[in-house]
Amino acid sequence: MHDITPDAVVVGIDTHKDVHVAVAISGLGARLASASFSATSRGYQQLADWACNLGSVHAFGIEGTGSYGAGLSRALIARGLHVVEVGRVNRQLRRRHGKTDTVDAESAARAVLAGDVDTQPKTGDGAVEMIRHLKVARDTAVKARTQAIVTLKTLLVNAPQPLRERFIGISGKMTLIKAIAALRPGKPVSTTASAKMALRALAQRWLMLDAEIKQHEAVLEVLVRAQAPALMEAPGVSTGTIADMLIVLGDNPQRIRSEAAFAKLCGVCPVPASSGKTSRHRLNRGGNRRANAALYRVALVRMRHHPPTREYVQRRTAEGKSPREIRRCLKRYIAREIYQHLCTGKPPGKTA
């Protein structure tokens, strides 16, 4: 970083579950000190005091601000200190120089000093963090509910014949599950009784998870609508889509420099792949894949049911674009629209 003075201090931190290792270097790159601190509120305080006693701290470069370093990052930001998110150490350098916690912490500090990283971490202290918590619980419950119904139907197919004939003809998933949940198997003295017991357990599990999912979705609807009421009315955009986008942005969306940066964060910006006389771009497989999938779903819905989008598809098809290329273009436009809603407060087509 060109604005770091020689007497400034840059601290790199390698985070772990129980202990954080910190290395401080000067603005000229000289190593000043290293220390380890517990991953507790007291340890965070001691780390900040230790760093400030070394001189004027320019920045803390923390690896893993979204996992083991989340608590430390929030504690330092709360003290008004500058925190920079540092990615994983370059594997080529790791193979060349080896790996220890101290080496990783020093690499983080030197990455900040060189200006290779300048990303602000998510603050994780507002409504978006609440949405993330509930979204995680909801998504895992959905997976468990799907697994329960698949297992139930598999078990029912190879259940004893009288039990199979009793339920196999019932139409309607909810009717079937409620009927199975009402079984009274008694003691497990036969294969029929044990099958009843297993089927009832799976059906009751499905009903419990279904109720949990509905509860999470009701709360998410309220929280998401409060954050982006106008975006809720956009065609093809659901509560889950907005929740995924808000989670990508975090509680401090100002850390995203531009809509192009947001598109890159979502993995919908083309990656240059030109060489010599060949000029081309390739698919971007980076970025947040959950956000990328959400944009893909919005694009599919609009291609099927949104008249302006269908007209756009017809025009681009006439120009020789493939369906895959058209979807990529649409995802980029949708990312721009969402950025304007969530980060600028100025929906597309409106002026301040």
Q: CA-to-CA distance for 108 and 112, rounded, in angstroms?
A: 7
Helix (H, G, I), strand (E, B) or coil at 124: coil
Residues 223 and 237 in one domain: no
Contact 93, 106 (CB under 8 A): no
- Total number of domains constituting the chain: 3
- Average the pLDDT over 306-331 and give the result: 93
Residue 97 located in a structural domain: yes
Residue 2's pLDDT band (boundaries 50, 70, 90)? low
Instruction: Say which CATH number the domain at 108 has.
Output: 3.30.420.40
Distance of CA 345 to the CA centre of its chain: 22
Distances 34 to 13, 102, 110 between C-alpha atoms, Å: 10, 7, 14
For the whole prediction, is pTM greater than 0.75?
yes
Q: What percent of the chain has pLDDT over 70?
A: 95
| Domain match, 238 and 274 both | yes
Number of residues that this document lists for the chain: 352
The 10s digit of each residue's pLDDT in 231-250 is 999 999 999 999 999 999 99
The answer to whether 7 and 55 have CB atoms below 8 angstroms apart is yes
What is the pLDDT at residue 129?
94
Name the residue type at position 173. K
Residue 91, amino acid: R
Q: Is the pLDDT of residue 312 over 90?
A: yes
**Ranges 116-120, 300-304, 318-322: which has the least confidence:** 116-120
**What is the pLDDT at residue 93?**
65
The pLDDT of 27-54, averaged and rounded, is 95
* Residue 352's pLDDT band (cuts 50, 70, 90): very low
Q: Is the pLDDT of residue 350 over 60?
A: no
Domain end, chosen from 85, 114, 143, is at: 114
pLDDT at site 1: 45
Of 210, 227, 244, the one marking the end of a domain is: 227
φ and ψ at residue 83, rounded to 5 degrees? -120, 135
Residue 120 lies in a domain: no
The answer to whether the CB of 342 falls within 8 A of the CB of 245 is: yes
Going by pLDDT thresholds of 50, 70 and 90, the confidence category of residue 275 is confident
Question: Does any domain span residue 82?
Answer: yes
The answer to whether residue 326 sits within a structural domain is yes
Residue 24: pLDDT over 90: yes
The amino acid that residue 297 corresponds to is R
Its domain, for residue 137, covers 127-227
CA distance 12 to 103: 10
Q: Which residues pair with 38 in a beta bridge?
A: 19
Q: Which of 71-80, 109-118, 121-130, 343-352 has the lowest mean pLDDT?
A: 343-352
Say if strands 57-63 and 9-14 run parallel, antiparallel, or are unpaired: parallel
**Quick one: pLDDT at residue 51?**
96
Q: Is 268 found in the same domain as 215?
A: no
Q: How far apart are alpha carbons 71 and 16 in whole angstroms?
A: 11
User: Please, what's the b/e burial string for 312-332 (b: 16 or more CB within 10 A of its CB; e: otherwise)?
Assistant: bbeebeeeeeeeeebbbbbbb
Banded pLDDT at 80 (limits 50, 70, 90): very high
Q: Which residues contact 145 (CB under 8 A, 6 or more apart)?
A: 206, 209, 210, 213
Q: Confirm whether 314 is domain-assigned.
A: yes
Other Cβ atoms less than 10 A from the Cβ of 345: the count is 11
- Residues 299, 315: one domain? yes
Question: Does 212 or 275 have the greater pLDDT score?
Answer: 212
From 130, 91, 128, select the one nearest 107 (Cα to Cα).
91
What's the chain's average pLDDT?
90
Q: In whole angstroms, what is the distance from residue 294 CA to residue 279 CA?
A: 29
In terms of DSSP H, where are the helices of the chain?
41-54, 70-78, 91-97, 101-114, 127-157, 161-167, 173-181, 191-227, 239-249, 259-265, 289-305, 307-318, 323-339
| pLDDT on residue 269 | 85
**Which residues does 8 contact at the CB level (< 8 Å), separation at least 6?**
26, 27, 55, 56, 57, 58
Burial profile 87-103: b = 16 or more Cβ within 10 angstroms, e = fewer: eebeeeeeeeeeeebbb
Inform me whether the pLDDT recorded for 91 exceeds 70. Answer: no
The reply to whether 238 and 196 lie within a common domain is no
Q: Which of 10-24, 138-152, 280-294 has the lowest mean pLDDT?
A: 280-294
Residue type, 123: T
Shared-domain flag, residues 105 and 159: no
1, part of any domain: no
Boundary residue ending a domain (69, 93, 114): 114
